[in-house]
Amino acid sequence: MILEIDIEKNYYESKKLKKNKTPSFNLKSKFSIDSGSIIVLFGRSGSGKTSTLGCIAGLLDPDNGRIIVNNEIYYDSNKNINMSPQERNLGYVFQNYALFPHLTVKENIEYGIKHLSEEEKERRVFELLKLTQIEGLENRYPDQISGGQKQRVALARALAPSPKILLLDEPFSALDMISRMRLRESLRIIQKELKIPVVFVTHSFEEAFVMAEKVVTFHNGRIQQIGTPEEIFYNPINASVAELVGYINIFSNAEIDYNANNPDFSILGYRDMRMSIKKFNKSMNEVSFGIRPENIKLIDINSEKTENVFECIIKDVVNEGSTSLVYLEVIQNGLRLMSKTQNDKFKKLNYTVGEKCKIELLKDKITILMTQSVKKIDLT
């Protein structure tokens, strides 16, 4: 077992709330990962992912539960075990690098291996400079190198003691796009070479999708879904996860019925709209559903297609470079939708703001979500 977590931690905004045992935030983090090289804890700010990472590292103490890493107990409230961060033999890369400004790159990397002989330290630093691609910077100070180079130094320092697990708290969030891309690839190469499990915190699903073998999704202090990036991205379990991975178009109180015309598909009813979707074996009431903007396809106004096709008014268009976000209002019921389309395709359709258009909701891309409260999304 690479990682087994079952912890609870309460946060209180005041002494009065603590006295009354009324937490302002309650974290219940329970999951286990038995395989996977890079595990990503993914969620919005304040969802509990960084607190979970802090508990794994020993920087925060849970109120109860247990933490097991590589079959070693780091924390167990029932057995009164709580290893110090130093005893846990892990590497930790902070969001803000946390380099010592008065030490050189070499001295920063050496900081956690002072117990080694000078010869061993020299050899280890040389290995890490090469591994993290910062050879030639060893005599510089942190204020003399770039943000991407600082993050590589922080990574080298975390790896210096040969930890059993590497923890990273949003390590690339302050970097520019090119530096992020290069560091992501470097981390993947380093992980494969060292064969060390990595737990990585991020609020960026793009980062989670690129980096992770397994994604653990957090919302309001609870685990929502665990799976591969593809499973989370294409089959979110509920509206909270769907929102996190870009399902802008999410709606509740729909119904699923049998499709007499095509038994290989079901019928989704929402307001006065009827849509074909992937087959369900039973009818359901009060379901939520979502569709990603790129799966709402703008088609020619003269198209004779009818299945999942609706007439809309284009309310606004936002050019994003190679793509455009098209804000739509369904004519028959005023439903607001957002489509994302390639600019070359959009130009060929020759649609403009205020005009009538046709859209097709791709039937195999409409995702049924577990029933839960759905936050209203304002697309006006």
Domain co-membership, 145 together with 225: yes
3-state secondary structure of 116: coil
Whether residues 177 and 287 share a domain: the answer is: no
For residue 54, tell me if it sits in a domain: yes
pTM of the predicted structure, to 2 decimals: 0.87
> What residues contact residue 260 under an 8 Å CB cut-off, 6+ apart?
none
Q: Does any domain span residue 182?
A: yes
In this structure, are 229 and 315 located in the same domain? no
- Domain end (from 200, 234, 268): 234
The angle subtended at Cα 149 by Cα 144 and Cα 152, nearest 5°, is 135
> Which position has the higher pLDDT, 347 or 37?
347
Q: Are residues 159 and 308 in the same domain?
A: no
Please identify, among 202, 234, 266, the residue that sits at the C-terminal boundary of a domain.
Answer: 234
Number of domains composing the chain: 2
Contacts of 302 (CB under 8 A, 6+ apart): none
Task: Give one DSSP letter per residue of 338-363, joined into a string.
Answer: EEEEEHHHHHHHT--TT-EEEEEE-G
Any domain includes 377? no
Per residue, the 3-state secondary structure of 255-269, as one string, reads EEEECCCCCCEEEEE
Mean pLDDT for the stretch of residues 291-300: 97
Q: Distance between CA atoms of 234 and 290, rounded to whole angstroms?
A: 11
Instruction: Please say if the pLDDT value at position 359 is more than 50.
Output: yes
| 147-167 pLDDT per residue, tens | 999 999 999 999 999 999 999
Give the integer Cα–Cα distance in Å for 89 and 86: 6
User: Does 378 fall in a domain?
Assistant: no
SS3 378: coil
Contact predicate 103/180, CB 8 Å: no
Residue 379 has pLDDT above 70, yes or no: no
> What is the mean pLDDT of the segment spanning 298-308?
95
Q: Where are the beta strands (DSSP E) in 64-149?
A: 64-69, 72-76, 81-82, 90-93
Query: Model confidence over 80-125: pLDDT tens digits?
Result: 999 999 999 999 998 888 899 999 999 999 998 989 999 999 999 9
The residue type of 230 is: E
- Interhelix angle 147-159/177-194, rounded to 10 degrees, is 20
The answer on 324 and 283 residing in a single domain is yes
Residue 164 shares a structural domain with residue 177: yes
Give just the sign of the alpha carbon dihedral 186, 224, 265, 306.
negative
Identify the pLDDT of residue 373: 39
Question: What is the band of 374 on the pLDDT scale with cuts at 50, 70, 90?
Answer: very low
Boundaries of domain holding 173: 3-234
The CB density around residue 255, as the number of other CB atoms within 10 Å, is 14
- Provide the H-helix boundaries in the chain: 15-19, 49-57, 105-110, 118-131, 147-159, 177-194, 205-211, 229-234, 239-244, 343-349
The end-to-end CA distance of the chain, in Å, is 48
Reply yes or no on whether the pLDDT at 380 is more than 60: no
Give CA–CA dist 359/361, Å, rounded: 7
CATH of the domain at 225: 3.40.50.300
Q: Does residue 307 form part of some domain?
A: yes
C-alpha R_g of the chain: 25
Q: What is the pLDDT of residues 119-143, one digit of tens each?
A: 999 999 999 999 999 999 999 999 9
Is 264 found in the same domain as 141? no
Quick one: 55 and 201 in the same domain?
Answer: yes
The pLDDT of 32-42, averaged and rounded, is 86
Is residue 286 domain-shared with residue 176, that is, in the same domain?
no
State how far the Cα of 67 lies from the Cα of 81, in Å rounded to an integer. 10
Of the pLDDT bands very low, low, confident and very high (cuts 50, 70, 90), residue 327 is very high
- Quick one: pLDDT band at residue 67, thresholds 50, 70, 90? very high
pLDDT at 284 over 90: no
Q: What percent of the chain has pLDDT over 70?
A: 96
Q: List the beta bridge partners of residue 165.
A: 90
Q: Is the same domain home to 226 and 268?
A: no
State the pLDDT at residue 95. 85
Q: What is the dihedral of CA 54, 55, 58, 62, to 10 degrees?
A: 140
Q: Which residues contact 256 (CB under 8 A, 6 or more apart)?
A: 266, 267, 268, 269, 277, 280, 282, 283, 284, 287, 368
Tell me, yes or no, whether 155 and 286 share the same domain. no
pLDDT of residue 2: 84
Give the per-residue pLDDT at 372.
Answer: 47
Q: Are 92 and 56 in contact (CB under 8 A)?
A: no
Coil/strand/helix, residue 209: helix
The label of the residue with tokens 């439903």 reads 335
Mean pLDDT of the chain: 91
According to DSSP, the residues that pair with 27 across neighbouring strands are: 9
- Residue 371 pLDDT grade (very low, low, confident, very high; cuts 50, 70, 90): low
CATH of the domain at 314: 2.40.50.100
220 occurs within a structural domain: yes
- Would 228 be classed as within a structural domain? yes
* Collapsed DSSP state (helix, strand, coil) of residue 276: strand
pLDDT tens, residue by residue, 234-251: 999 999 999 999 999 999
From 187, 207, 234, the end of a domain falls on 234
Burial (Cβ within 10 Å: 0-12, 13-18, ≥19) of residue 84 = exposed
Q: What whole-number distance in Å separates Cα of residue 203 and Cα of residue 150?
A: 21
Q: Are residues 210 and 318 in the same domain?
A: no
pLDDT of residue 376: 35
- The stretch 279-294 carries a mean pLDDT of 88
What the block records as the tokens of 112 is 């956690």
Q: Is residue 208 part of a domain?
A: yes
